[in-house]
Structure 1
Amino acid sequence: MKKLLLLVGGSAGLGEALYSHYKNLDYDIVEFSRSGQQPEHVFLDMSRKETAIDTIDLQFAQLAKQPWQEIVLIINAAQIGPIGELAMSEPKQWWQNIEVNLTLPISIMGRFQTHFQAVEAPKNIAFVSSGAATSVIEGWSLYSATKAGVEHFIRVVAQEQSSKSNPITPVILNPGIMDTQMQATIRSSSEAQFSNVDWFKQAHETGQLASPATVAGNIAAVLSGKLEAGQVYDVSG
């Protein structure tokens, strides 16, 4: 039997590195994003929750009918903006951030439970979070709140799964700071939006950003070991 990776947000950066790493490990992969180019790509716009969850529902239902040795769901998609105090942006921007970072990750994990709960193979859910979930960072209120919300959701799910006969193991990943497009977006912020922007610029200039490939390898190593449900794992480079 084959191993299955369900990768949400695998078109660039860490997601693209995860795709390459797991492909080399001979996993069957289904990659969900707006702009993925891989043969296994499925279009998914997480800012449109109704159509997005319909797509997830259909794909998960079909895949759950097949025999698998192992199933891994990695939720990597995220949106940093709008950066700055909420008065500097508009409600429609806030709602999109919340849908991409909170509503859809929770919904995807819920549908994963619906379709894969009874499958007897080992099943892991890994949510790529951020240190912002537990740190107070001016200008990142929405990003921080949504990451923290999903983390606590995972802790509750972990407790719920402890009594299941075929449990799912959900965990949280902290990837640290990486050289990705999100970091470029952060560095393009003004000091009015983000008072700590100079630190991120210096980190980039001095080579302190980890490569996505390094973090992807760390993630794969962690997920291949014994996991404790609901825990945070440091996978930084």
Structure 2
Amino acid sequence: MKTFIITGASKGLGSAIAKQCLRTGDRCILISRTIDPAFEVLASSSDSKLSFIPTDLKETEKLSSLVKGILTEVDEKSDLYFINNAGIIDPIKPIGNLGQECLESSMKVNFMAPIVLTDEFIKQTSDSDRKKVVVNISSGAAKNPYHGWAAYCSTKAGLEMFTRVAGLEQDKVPFPVCLISFSPGVMDTEMQGTIRSADEHDFVDRDKFQDYKEKGMLRSPELVASTLLQLLEGEDLENGKFYDIKDLL
């Protein structure tokens, strides 16, 4: 049995992953502010077990108890896949115009939430001898600077290094968690819509991203979800590694 715990599951990649897992009968625990009613229909038709936990990831002080509550629900023999998918692109502004409130939201959702959830997941499953995988959804922005994306690039870069350190550490423990970063590339999601609507003075590469949409260069979330799930099926995941979808297609 497999259990998938997915943040940001209400739309985009998180939704696509959840729907594919439900179709194959896997257990899904979805963490987001809202839920798509289609999930319940899929779960019923495929006899899958579905749980939805309404959560605002900016409330990081609640995440420790969230993980504890999740783990009390899952079968002790179930393989566990924790997918930190939730993320926000805002603020798209050059440095000097970020604003503390928007910057703090970016830091909490893109960085603090996934590392707190991962820290608690590792701590609370440390004596559990089963397959345990954490996937931190990354981005090319973790490795490359973009004008106007200081918050997004910085938080993704921080999460990338956190994943590498955690993978290094986990290779030395008796019952390790395997942690990977996964970069989905450019997808046809609401985040891309936000990017295309940014002010060109705030984001100088806006026209390039508009071209991606107009020329049909955006991958569907369904394709990306399928590629990730195929990767997770393998037994040779390298702990701490950055996996880029371009190398998997």
- The one-letter code of the counterpart of 1:217 is S
- Over the aligned positions, Cα root-mean-square deviation in angstroms equals 1.4
Specify the alignment match of 1:8 in structure 2: 7
Determine if the alignment matches structure 1 residue 44 to structure 2 residue 75: no
Runs of 4+ with deviation above 3 angstroms: none
Deviations 1:87-124 (A, max 9, x none): 22320110111000111100000110122221111111
Check whether the contact 2:6–2:30 (CA below 8 A) recurs between aligned residues.
Answer: yes
Structure 2 unaligned blocks of 5 or more? 41-50
Residues 180-189 or 226-235, more deviating: 226-235
TM-score (normalised: structure 2): 0.90
How much does 1:43 deviate?
0.6
Does residue 189 (structure 1) correspond to residue 188 (structure 2)? The answer is: no
Where 1:154 maps in the other structure, the secondary structure is helix
Q: TM-score, normalised by structure 1?
A: 0.94
1:179 aligns with 2:193: no
Distance 1:206 1:14 in 2: 21
Amino acid at match of 2:242: V
**Which residue of 120, 129, 148 maps to 2:138?**
129
Q: Shift in Å at residue 228 of structure 1? A: 0.4
- Greater shift in the superposed pair: 37-46 or 78-87: 37-46
Look up the SS of the partner of 2:2 in the other structure.
strand
Residue 177 of structure 1 contacts residue 210 of structure 1 at CA under 8 Å; is this kept in 2? yes
Query: Matched residues in 2 for 1:12 and 1:219: separation?
Result: 16
Report deviation, 1:193.
Answer: 0.9
The match for 1:112 is 121
Give identity over the alignment, percent.
30
- 205-214 or 117-126: bigger deviation: 117-126
**Counterpart residue identity of residue 34, structure 1:** R
Equivalenced residue count is: 234
CA distance in 1, matches of 2:245, 2:133: 16
Could you give the per-residue CA deviations for residues 191-235 of structure 1, whole angstroms, max 9, x where no partner exists? 111000000011101100000000000000111112000111122
Q: 1:44–1:52: 8 Å Cα contact kept in structure 2?
A: no
Q: Which sits farther off after the overlay, 172-181 or 18-27?
A: 18-27
What residue in structure 2 maps to residue 228 of structure 1? Answer: 238
Is the contact made by 1:4 and 1:68 (CA closer than 8 Å) also made in structure 2? no
> What is residue 84 of structure 1 aligned with on the other side?
93
Instruction: Give structure 1 stretches of 5+ with no counterpart.
Output: none
Q: Distance in 1 between matches of 2:23 and 2:184?
A: 21
